[in-house]
């Protein structure tokens, strides 16, 4: 079987010979295309500047009437009438229910008769005592008889008072058959209908809630309160005096209630069942827009975080070791590169109106004032990657990007990507230059395109003149030799 025939194109032979000549002369071939050959990423930065930042605390709360009254039956009887619309506003003193008054009216008549009898007996005892008193003074009757008559007067007076008390009690109960609203507010459902038996002091007839103002109760976890206390003690956080927070309410549909309120109660004890502190806010509610029992989000404003550092949320990335950001720094050659800063984050805050990036993270540690955090272009970065800053650096920070190659000093080598005609006189042409400019009359060089080449500063030089002459001679020989 004949050996396989190997065919080589003139171009491949020239490239192989050029590479061999470079190796023989101690030169290194230009690196092949790769990540390091891409142009520096265009990024924008934000300078780390400590500043006071308003703090917002948010909790889940529930609305309650500032007065919650349970309306109960105060006498036992049959519920005769209901005189209000369930769920409608009621006024103080308005009659809500009527319990059958006839049994109590009959008892009232009986007690009135008992009172009249007691009063008659008292009058008789007084007359008897008045008749015996002068006789006893003249010793016409015994002293014992006179004393018994006086005692009978006292007993009759006590009987009268007892009858009056029973009569007043039954009249009071008779008045309780008309159940009136003790306060003004919103009524609730009436669970008992007409004809039902209600028991004194047990049966709940309805509930009335005073909703102007309305109260909102919420709880703060013990560990969160301790964190706040430590921040205040370390002067990192300033709270308003006497819990003078501005309280805003966000409803379940995401809308914000148009009126704000104030804190009117803060418990100093921890609820052992929940491990939380209870607080309460008072909200004006003249139109009754808020109803008791609603779940809302309570937002407290008025506190300030002192000398805080915040970075845009888009600048924070997740890594195997946690959160980190890229910062603009200098490498050993003085070039701008992307550095990594692991950070410990705090709360997520919202910047003021008109901010370009309203969502920001509070950075507890990991950044220093004056550092420049990369906020745009982070998706194209890796640690140590070269970058071009598009925003003006702050004083003391990294300088602006270098000028284009055509502005370089005379005699310096052109930077990658610059046209060969812009290179300084006497400098080596870059790989972007056409082959006819690099080696007149010769074969093109094996260098990679300029965009994939390494930077001229510190990188491998282009092919030397001897290497180009050798390449031309070998090319001539290969052209004359017959193909095998």
* The token pair that represents 117 in the structure block: 């009898």
CB 152 within 8 A of CB 131: no
Q: Are strands 359-365 and 344-350 parallel, antiparallel or unpaired?
A: antiparallel
Strongest mean pLDDT among 80-84, 388-392, 416-420 = 80-84
CB 430 within 8 A of CB 423: yes
List, for residues 254-263, the tens digit of each pLDDT value: 999 999 999 9
pLDDT at 337: 92
Beta bridge partners of 47: 372
Lowest mean pLDDT among 48-57, 137-146, 450-459: 450-459
Give the model's confidence band at 111: pLDDT under 50 very low, under 70 low, under 90 confident, else very high: very high
Tens of pLDDT along 171-218?
999 999 999 999 999 999 999 999 999 999 999 999 999 999 999 999
pLDDT over threshold 60, residue 375: yes
pLDDT, greater one: 37 or 17 = 37
pLDDT grade for 378, boundaries at 50, 70 and 90: confident
Q: Where are the alpha helices (DSSP H) in 80-142?
A: 102-137
Q: Where does the pLDDT of residue 2 fall: very low under 50, low under 70, confident under 90, or very high at 90 and above?
A: very low
For 129-159, the DSSP string reads HHHHHHHHHTTSS-HHHHHHHHHHHHHHHHH
Residue 437 has pLDDT above 70, yes or no: no
Average pLDDT over residues 261-286: 94
Domains of the chain, each with CATH number or no CATH: 41-50+309-389 (2.40.420.20), 56-64+209-305 (2.40.30.170), 101-176 (1.10.287.470), 415-477 (no CATH)
Q: Is the pLDDT of residue 392 over 60?
A: no
Mean pLDDT of the chain: 78
* Count of C-beta atoms within a 10 Å radius of residue 288: 12
pLDDT 10s digits, 225-241: 999 999 999 999 999 99
pLDDT band for position 148 (cuts 50, 70, 90): confident
Q: Which of 1-15, 258-272, 402-416 has the lowest mean pLDDT?
A: 402-416
- The 10s digit of each residue's pLDDT in 311-352 is 998 899 998 889 999 999 998 888 899 999 999 998 888 776
Residue 196, C-beta contacts closer than 8 angstroms, at least 6 positions apart? 78, 79
Return the minimum-mean-pLDDT range out of 281-285, 287-291, 320-324, 453-457: 453-457
Is the pLDDT score of 5 beyond 60?
Answer: no
Local structure of 435: helix, strand or coil: helix
Give the predicted TM-score (pTM) of the model: 0.60
Q: Closest Cα to residue 415, out of 396, 430, 425?
A: 430
């Amino acid at each position: 079987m004949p050996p396989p025939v190997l065919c080589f194109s003139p171009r491949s032979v020239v490239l192989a010979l050029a590479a061999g000549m470079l190796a023989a002369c101690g030169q290194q071939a230009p690196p092949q295309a790769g990540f390091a050959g891409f142009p520096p990423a265009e990024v924008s930065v934000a300078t780390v500047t400590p500043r006071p930042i308003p703090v917002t605390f948010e909790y889940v709360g529930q609305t309650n009437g500032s007065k919650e009254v349970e309306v109960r039956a105060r006498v036992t009887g049959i519920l005769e009438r209901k005189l209000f619309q369930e769920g409608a506003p009621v006024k103080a003193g308005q009659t809500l229910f009527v319990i059958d008054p006839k049994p109590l009216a009959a008892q009232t008549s009986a007690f009135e008769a008992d009172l009249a009898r007691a009063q008659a007996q008292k009058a008789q005892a007084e007359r008897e005592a008045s008749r015996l008193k002068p006789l006893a003074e003249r010793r016409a009757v015994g002293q014992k008889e006179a004393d018994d008559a006086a005692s009978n007067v006292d007993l009759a007076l006590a009987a009268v008072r007892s009858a009056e008390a029973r009569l007043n009690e039954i009249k009071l109960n008779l008045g309780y058959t008309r159940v009136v609203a003790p306060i003004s507010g919103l009524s609730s459902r009436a669970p008992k209908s007409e004809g039902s038996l209600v028991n004194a002091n047990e049966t709940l007839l309805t509930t009335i809630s005073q909703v102007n103002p309305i109260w909102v109760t919420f709880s703060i976890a013990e560990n969160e309160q301790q964190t706040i206390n430590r921040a205040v003690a370390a002067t990192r956080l300033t709270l308003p005096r006497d819990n003078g927070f501005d309280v805003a309410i966000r409803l379940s549909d995401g809308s914000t209630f148009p009126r704000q309120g104030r804190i009117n109660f803060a418990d100093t004890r921890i609820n052992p069942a929940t491990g939380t502190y209870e607080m309460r806010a008072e909200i004006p509610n003249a139109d009754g827009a808020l109803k008791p029992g609603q779940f809302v989000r309570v937002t407290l404003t008025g506190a300030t975080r002192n000398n805080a550092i915040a970075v845009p949320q888009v600048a924070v990335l997740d890594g195997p070791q946690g959160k980190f950001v890229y910062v603009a720094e200098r490498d050993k050659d003085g070039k701008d590169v992307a550095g990594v800063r692991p950070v410990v984050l705090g709360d997520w805050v919202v910047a003021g109106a008109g901010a370009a990036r309203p969502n920001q993270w509070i950075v507890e540690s990991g950044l220093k004032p004056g550092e420049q955090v990369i906020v745009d272009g982070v998706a194209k970065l890796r640690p140590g990657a070269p970058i071009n800053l598009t925003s003006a650096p702050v004083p003391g920070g990294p300088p602006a990007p270098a000028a284009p190659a055509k502005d370089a000093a005379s005699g310096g080598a052109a930077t990658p990507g610059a046209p060969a005609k812009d290179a300084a006189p006497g400098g080596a042409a870059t790989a972007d230059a056409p082959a006819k400019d690099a080696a007149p009359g010769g074969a093109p060089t094996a260098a990679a395109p300029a965009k994939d080449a390494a930077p001229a500063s510190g990188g491998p030089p282009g092919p030397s003149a001897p290497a180009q002459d050798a390449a031309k001679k070998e090319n001539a020989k290969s052209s004359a030799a017959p193909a095998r």
